[in-house]
Chain A
């Protein structure tokens, strides 16, 4: 009889129930879209921010101390090196999977066409393998993904996997203009140690000082500077969590953290905890966050999440008001039926259960529709803003379910109050 009555309501009040389902679907869809994007946005924004380069720089410890002491980062003081074979240690840290790209950098000054030019040796699209304690780590990595703002004005990227890591070079647009360099030219660079003939595979426009430099492969620079197997620094791009109070506290001195705080910090992908873990893995190195990028990343994430939380909150408030209106009008429309049920002996709890069952069943359909609609919205946002799709998340489904049940029950409170106060004597006989 209970379910016959529930079914009867759907048949009798289908328009109202449809409106209720649509209202809930709208709230659920916005909540789903915002929560999906919000959960995904950290990665998305990180991907966007990668356009601004690496967010962690690993240098020899002595260099870091010198930079701190003298507040200078000039090439003239960089004399210490990291050993190239230590690069692989990056892939052994707890947050290794958050390291999306990295590239060792070495540089030297060479004589080119009668003038002194800076040569930078690095990886571009390098297939890297590293073995440790029986585990093999592999990555395709390099500065192609760390210099995404570079405009290749002629030729192509120096891609080791397609042309090999031989004597090739990419020349900055300014230097190329000054010296009339074109793709395919063979240029000669000379240092006091050796001389190399490099084939130009591409000209780039970086919009900064790199436009006056020559980028070549790491071995070329190592030979020219007589620093085989040594590198000056490693640029690392890692997906990080926004900086919060714990991260700030830890950045000052991790040893000041309590045991629980330390565990939480260590197991969260803060830029500071990733730096700390890199230093643990490469003891002679100092890993530091590129402050501007780490900060802007945190701020952008914080603001974006705040905005999305607000939109979610407002949509849920709107949905609750809509639910409240519809449910209240449904109950008022059925006051005769409810009064009759009371007259034949139904207790308030039985009538409330009947009504909530009807509303919650409607909410389930609304939430289901809204979830898939919201996923569609999230996809649109993902594709139009971040140019990639947003993943469906079980966590979002769970949170949206809880939210929808909450707003349905919250929105039903005024109607339930009407039910509790409704006196059959006033409805069935029309007063005194």
Chain B
């Protein structure tokens, strides 16, 4: 059973077809990079994969369950349990420490566990920065906190939206290394990116243009 399947998925906003009959399968443990120019439908696809939005037509099947017609409440439970998000802008809560930011995801998932949250930070190399506020962390460190938050509830899929978009080269490499490590540990990754370097390290690159998949290739460099 595939981890995720998009079957003839379309998303229409007024006269605009943001996604147009897209078919995509994501296998467990796979690392896919979704690339394309602005307005190609990357973010729309990410929202649908992440259960943050529903398609206008077609079916989305996550771990064998058709989630197309699920209620908002059920979708919230789904992305809480199955998906870990990493955002370009990090979206850390700036009055909570790095550790507490990770624990927020635990709090809304089940219950907080400081040791577990600390272990997640350790995985991204931030154990010693756990008590720092986001404003006391570099961009790269903030993104690593964001990754730790995405990992904390052991999701089926990590969904990253331009994870290196706001980072300098050194931090970008650090984040890419963490993604590589997660992938090697068996984590499924879907990364939406403009960044060719991120695309290069992914297993598979799906290119979008005007809401359609124009290429879907295994990456020979990864």
Contacts and interface: CB of A to CB of B under 8 A. Distances in A.
A431 B107 CA distance: 28
A68 interface: no
Given A336-B89, A424-B52, A428-B91, A4 B100 contact: yes
A431 B85 contact: no
B112 A347 contact: no
A429 B79 CA distance: 15
Contact of B109 (A345, A428, A432): A345
Interface in A198-213: none
A336 B53 CA distance: 17
A88 B169 CA distance: 100
Given A1-B103, A423-B52, A432-B11, A345 B108 contact: yes
19 contacts: A8-B93, A8-B96, A340-B91, A341-B104, A343-B52, A343-B91, A344-B80, A345-B77, A345-B79, A345-B81, A345-B109, A423-B53, A424-B52, A425-B50, A428-B85, A428-B87, A432-B11, A432-B18, A432-B44
Given A345-B76, A423-B52, A425-B52, A432 B108 contact: no
A181 to B, nearest CB: 85
Nearest to A340: B91
Interface string A320-359: 0000000000000000110111111111001000000000
A2 B18 CA distance: 38
A9 B105 contact: no
Given A337-B91, A432-B47, 17 more contacts: A5-B96, A336-B91, A339-B91, A343-B79, A343-B91, A344-B105, A344-B149, A345-B76, A345-B77, A345-B79, A346-B76, A425-B50, A428-B52, A428-B91, A429-B46, A432-B13, A432-B39
B43 interface: yes
Contacts of A344: 80, 85, 104-105, 108-109, 149
A1 B104 contact: yes
A429 B104 contact: no
Nearest to B94: A12
A430 interface: yes
A12 B133 CA distance: 12
Contacts of B81: 345
A347 B76 CA distance: 7
B73 interface: yes
Interface string B9-33: 0010100101000000000000000
Interface of B: 11, 13, 16, 18, 39, 41, 43-44, 46-47, 50, 52-53, 73, 76-77, 79-81, 85, 87, 89, 91, 93-96, 100, 103-105, 107-109, 112, 149, 161
Contacts of A429: 43, 46-47, 87, 161
A11 interface: yes
Contacts of A4: 96, 100
Contacts of B91: 336-337, 339-340, 343, 428
A425 B91 CA distance: 13
Contacts of B149: 344
Contact of A341 (B13, B103, B108): B108
B107 A1 contact: yes
Nearest to A334: B93
Nearest to A341: B108
B80 A432 contact: no
A425 B80 CA distance: 14
Contacts of A423: 52-53
Contacts of A347: 73, 76
Closest 9 CB pairs of A and B: A345-B80, A8-B95, A425-B47, A425-B52, A429-B43, A345-B108, A1-B107, A340-B91, A344-B105
Contact of A5 (B39, B41, B93): B93
A348 to B, nearest CB: 8
A153 to B, nearest CB: 74
Nearest to B106: A1
Contacts of B77: 345
Contacts of A343: 50, 52, 79, 85, 91
A344 B50 CA distance: 11
Contacts of B105: 344-345
Contacts of A11: 95
Contacts of A424: 52
Contacts of B87: 340, 428-429
A4 B13 CA distance: 39
Nearest to B84: A344
A1 B96 CA distance: 10
A332 to B, nearest CB: 16
A115 to B, nearest CB: 92
Contact of A431 (B43, B89, B161): B43
A183 B158 CA distance: 105
A350 B73 CA distance: 12
Contacts of A336: 89, 91
Nearest to B83: A343
